[in-house]
Amino acid sequence: MEKLVVTFAVAFIAVVVATESDDSIIENINRAQNMWKAGKNEITDKGIEYMKRLLGTKIPENLDILPRRADIEIEENIPTSFDARTQWPHCTSIGSIKNQGHCGSCWAVAAASAASDRVCISSGFKVVVNISAENLLACCSDCTDPGERGCDGGYPEKAWNYFKKIGIVTGGDYDSAEGCQPYEIAPSDEEVSENEENYYTPPCQKKCTNKKYPVSFRKDKHYGRTSYLLKQSETTIQSDILKYGPVEAAFTVYYDFYYYTSGIYKQTSTFKVGGHAVRVIGWGVENGVKYWTVANSWGKSWGENGTFRIRRGTNECGFEEYVTAGLIKK
Ligand SMILES: *[C@@H]1O[C@H](CO)[C@@H](O)[C@H](O)[C@H]1NC(C)=O
Ligand SMILES: *[C@@H]1O[C@H](CO)[C@@H](O)[C@H](O)[C@H]1NC(C)=O
- pLDDT for the residue numbered 64: 84
- pLDDT for the residue numbered 1: 42
Let me know if residue 219 belongs to a domain.
Answer: yes
Q: Which residues contact 249 (CB under 8 A, 6 or more apart)?
A: 110, 237, 277, 278, 279, 280, 292, 294, 319, 320, 322, 323, 324
129 CA to centre of ligand 1 in angstroms: 7
Residue nearest to atom 12 of ligand 2 (CA): 304
In the chain, the number of structural domains is 1
Q: Are 114 and 247 in contact (CB under 8 A)?
A: yes
Let me know if residue 268 belongs to a domain.
Answer: yes
- pLDDT for the residue numbered 67: 85
**Residue 276 annotated in active site:** yes
Let me know if residue 76 belongs to a domain.
Answer: yes
- Rounded to 5°, angle at Cα 192 from 188 and 193: 65
- pLDDT for the residue numbered 2: 47
How long, in residues, is the chain? Answer: 330
- Phi, psi at 66, each rounded to 5°: -80, 135
Q: Are 141 and 155 in contact (CB under 8 A)?
A: no
The CA distance from 47 to 116, in Å, is 32
Could you read off the pLDDT of 293-306 as tens digits, one per residue? 999 999 999 999 99
The CA distance from 225 to 95, in Å, is 24
Q: Is the CB of 304 under 6 A from ligand 2?
A: yes
- pLDDT for the residue numbered 202: 94
Question: Which residues of the chain, if any, have pLDDT below 50?
Answer: 1-5
Let me know if residue 67 belongs to a domain.
Answer: yes
Ligand 1 pocket, CB under 6 A = 92-93, 96, 128-130, 172-173, 178
The parent domain of residue 159 ranges over 2-325
Residue nearest to atom 13 of ligand 2 (CA): 304
220 CA to centre of ligand 2 in angstroms: 35
Q: Which residues contact 3 (CB under 8 A, 6 or more apart)?
A: none
Let me know if residue 330 belongs to a domain.
Answer: no
3-state secondary structure at position 15:
helix
Let me know if residue 216 belongs to a domain.
Answer: yes
Q: Convert 58-74 to b/e letters by CB count within 10 Å (16 or more is b).
A: bbeeeeeeeebbeebee
- pLDDT for the residue numbered 11: 53
Q: In a mutational test of the pocket of ligand 2, which residue from 305, 307, 308, 309 has the highest number of ligand atoms less than 8 Å from its CB?
A: 305
The CA distance from 76 to 72, in Å, is 12
- pLDDT for the residue numbered 296: 98
CATH number at residue 64: 3.90.70.10
- Rounded to 5°, angle at Cα 129 from 277 and 117: 45
